Every structure is written in structure tokens, then in C-alpha cells.
Structure 1
């Protein structure tokens, strides 16, 4: 599931200059904010009915403890399973790096840590084959850069959290105002009491050059509905005049094409590395 050097060579540079959101975020970012690089591997469970998943977590936990947690170039990492998505076989592996170069360097460190953890070649190959047996050969890789609209998770928990992901297509036609999105973030999103955390990131490498994703973190599924109700109240309180409110929402909406997709995943607490 690693991203190879060959894949890293194909960077869509034009996105960096065309994405108005990224420009605005860089101009207004605080000294505390520094973009990070995020790789996401969408894997799928093995559909072979003979596959034994009884020790899946123990196997991945062993790898996580011996490799991921010991790799200092990996800032954060997590594993997320399908909750409400179009494909119930999905399992998402997310890894966060300080910079682009660390993506490839971290893979090299992983290989060294694997050899150190399982020095006997036969045992090493047996473990890796067992680990890979849980998944189908089908997978996809995406690379994103974080954006300066976020609410960090303040407390670690040993319970699964709910991650609602909204993936939107940026209009990228020069008519939108990223400042409107920032204003909405500051006046509405960041004040919503139902959020445990909130993160945004934009496409760097992958299938959709327009993609911008928002990740909303909740304690439980029911909080999502309450989150939207509270958002409506915050919007009404912030823009009390209906005409002004509608104008603002219309202007903010120009940042996007109107096309978006929604996904809900659940975290695996045992497979979480959280340093920030």
C-alpha cells in the first residue's frame, strides 16, 4: 500500500497555481499553521469467503506498533472503515507527513523498520503475506495538502470516532471568493459545539484535480444531524437579514461547482498515531 517513487513523479503542478483556495490560505495563514502532506490509500477487503479476519486487528496493530509508530517521518496516521459509503468493502489508510520529500523517505524508513522487526526473511514474508491476505489487489492512492481551515481534535480517545467527509469540486473559474469560505468557517463552522474536529485539504495528486475535502469529526453518528441544525441557527444569528444571508451563501457557493459527495467512516482507535 505504499506510494512509490514512480507515482510521486506525476505531480499536477498547474493545480498549485490555479487553486484560489490555496493562494488565499497561504496569504492569510498564521505563523502557527504549516501545510502538511496527506496520503490516502483506499483499499478493499478481500471478497474471498475463506478469508479469516479474526486476527486482522492484531496483525495490523503489530505492524502499526513496530513500523508506523517508530517512523519519525510519519507525523500522524489512521485507519478508517466504511460506515455509510457506496462501497462497504472500503478501508482507508491515511498518513500525514511534514513535507513532500518525507513521503518517499518515510517509505524507505518503513522498509528498514520492517527488516528490523522481522529479521528472519521467512517469518517476515509470512507476516507480510498474512497482512496482505485481508485485502483485494484493488486500491487507489491520493495525495493532498492541508488547508488553513481546521479545528484540531483536542483529546485522544480509545473509542471510535465518526468521520463525515464532504468532497466538493472547486469551480476554479475566478468567480468565487475564498474569503467568503473563511468567513463562514470563522463565524459558523468553528463555533459549532458538535464538532470534535474539522480538517480541510485540497488535491495534489490523484483522480480529481478540482477536489477539496472537508472532514468533520464527531463522537457519534447522531451528532451529524444535530451539527447541521446548529449550523442553521448559527447562520441565522450571524446574518439576521434574510436577503443578506442569501446573498452571502450565494457568493460563497461560487467557489464550488455544486457537485459534491458525502462519505461516513469510523476510526480504529488502536491504529491511530496522533501527534498534532
Structure 2
């Protein structure tokens, strides 16, 4: 157990150091956030006057008056259930430049709320109205961004499909960060970056939350139909980059040892006009 915890600590530390180096070295590339927070909310199924358009209007108003003006939040986005185990869930994802900014954004939100709705009665009424769409149940996870992202070429002008693959680290005793990153980035360059159906891709590892083994990969697609096309294209690119031979068989075995072999798949709808 001690060796597993040590390898995890080394992984996260190396990831953060590598991420920081990448940001500094590539001035013209989009700056990668250090941390990603994921809040899983749930619809209030007991709300009798539930109107999706009214919820979206209220959420957009809050986005424009508060979130867009909060300098501690780099990006924010909202995702609705598409194909997951719980049809009531919706995700709110925010990215931050540092751990300190995670501690600052809540206070700043409160300040901006008072500026947006100086009348306390109206402010309380608005927040109560928006909050009435959600149940009291929610969960929070914090992930660390790692290198290998494929950035969106331009800001989305329509809703998109988000495919999330959640794998789990196995922490092999003979594993090294050097080997892991070399194998990962080689496959990333040969497959993810070249797959035309993947409009954006963001890899993350667990930083704070319920499961320290998580390796989370987020793929953005134009449509649900592109999911199968993405998988087919992945297979083609893998065969082109890694033809079957002894050297590549060894690479595949080396890569597989870093994971348990168990993973989960999730599909969400990315709401393009509720993003910063």
C-alpha cells in the first residue's frame, strides 16, 4: 500500500510540474489550467413548475452577471445527462489556474452577486428561483489537468456530445513516470491528435475526491453518430502507427500494466451557450 501511495504522489506531482512547464514553454498555445472541479448536481424532481427554458434563462443570467466576471474562474461549462446511470444529473465543470483560486472564487461570486442584484430581496428571490431546479444532493471532485490536450479549434456555436472515459490506475511496482508518459504521449500524438472526429480532448487525473485511482479523459464530438466513427478511426490510426510486431506487442503490454482494465463510459450533452 505504501508503494502504491508513493507512486500516486509521484504521478500527481510529476503531472503538475509537467503541466506548468508546458504552459511556460508554449506561449502561443492555450494555457492549460492546473485544476478542474466537477460538481454533480441533480434536478429537483419534485418541482411542479419545472420549465427547462426558464432554468436555462436563469442559469445564463447568472453566467453573464457573475461567472463571466469572476477572474478566478478560467472556464466553466454545463453538461446534461445523455447516456449515464442517472438521468437526473447535470455537471458543472470549472477550471482554475491554481489551488489558491479555488479558495477565492466563492467569495468573489458572492461579491459579484451583490453587484448584479443590489436589492437584497431581488437577489435572494433570483437565487432561490435558480436553486429550486436542483435537489439538495450534489458531489464534488477535483482533478489535475495533464499534458496531451487537444484544444477546440474555435468556440462552439452549437451543443456538442461529451464522451467521458473513466479508467483506473493499477500502480505497478515496476512502473515509472518516464515510461508511462512516453507511452501515453506517443499514442496521443498518433491517435487522438489525428482523429478528425475528436474536436477536443482533455485528460485529467484525480487530485482530490472519492477515488484516487481515476484517470479521466474527455472527448468532444459534433454528434452522437460521430462516437462510433471516432472508435473506428482510432482503430485505423492505431494499426497505422503500431503495426503488429514484437516491439509494439511489448509496448501494449507495458501500457496495460498501468491500468486495472476496468473503465466506465459516460455521455453528456455540452450546453454551448452556458460556457465561459
Report the TM-score when normalising by structure 2.
0.88
SS of the equivalent of 1:236 reads: helix
Task: Sort the Cα spacing of 1:129 and 1:225 in 2 relative to 1 into closer, same or farther, 3 A.
Answer: same
Residue in 1 that maps onto 2:97: 98
Residue in 2 that maps onto 1:10: none
**C-alpha distance in structure 1 between counterparts of 2:78 and 2:15, whole Å:** 31
**C-alpha distance in structure 2 between counterparts of 1:144 and 1:15, whole Å:** 18
**C-alpha distance in structure 2 between counterparts of 1:50 and 1:34, whole Å:** 42
> Which deviates the most, 203-212 or 48-57?
48-57
Aligned pairs for 1:65-104 (under 5 A) are 65-104=64-103
Task: Sort the Cα spacing of 1:240 and 1:83 in 2 relative to 1 into closer, same or farther, 3 A.
Answer: same
Q: How many residues align?
A: 260
Residue in 1 that maps onto 2:215: 212
Q: Deviations over 1:48-100 (max 9, x none)?
A: 15142240000001100000001111111000000111111110001111101
Q: Deviations over 1:186-238 (max 9, x none)?
A: 12221111110000111111110111100011111111111111111111111
Unaligned segments of structure 2, at least 5 residues:
none
Task: Sort the Cα spacing of 1:159 and 1:36 in 2 relative to 1 into closer, same or farther, 3 A.
Answer: same
8 Å CA contact 2:18, 2:147 repeated in 1: no
> Which deviates the most, 25-34 or 204-213?
25-34
Residue 36 of structure 1 is aligned with which of 34, 37, 46? 34
**C-alpha distance in structure 1 between counterparts of 2:12 and 2:173, whole Å:** 11
SS of the equivalent of 1:73 reads: coil
As a proportion of its length, which structure holds more helix?
A: 2
Residue 18 of structure 1 is aligned with which of 3, 9, 13? 9
Unaligned segments of structure 1, at least 5 residues:
1-13
Task: Sort the Cα spacing of 1:237 and 1:55 in 2 relative to 1 into closer, same or farther, 3 A.
Answer: same
**C-alpha distance in structure 2 between counterparts of 1:113 and 1:40, whole Å:** 22
Alignment RMSD (CA, Å):
2.0
**C-alpha distance in structure 2 between counterparts of 1:174 and 1:24, whole Å:** 19
Residue in 1 that maps onto 2:142: 143
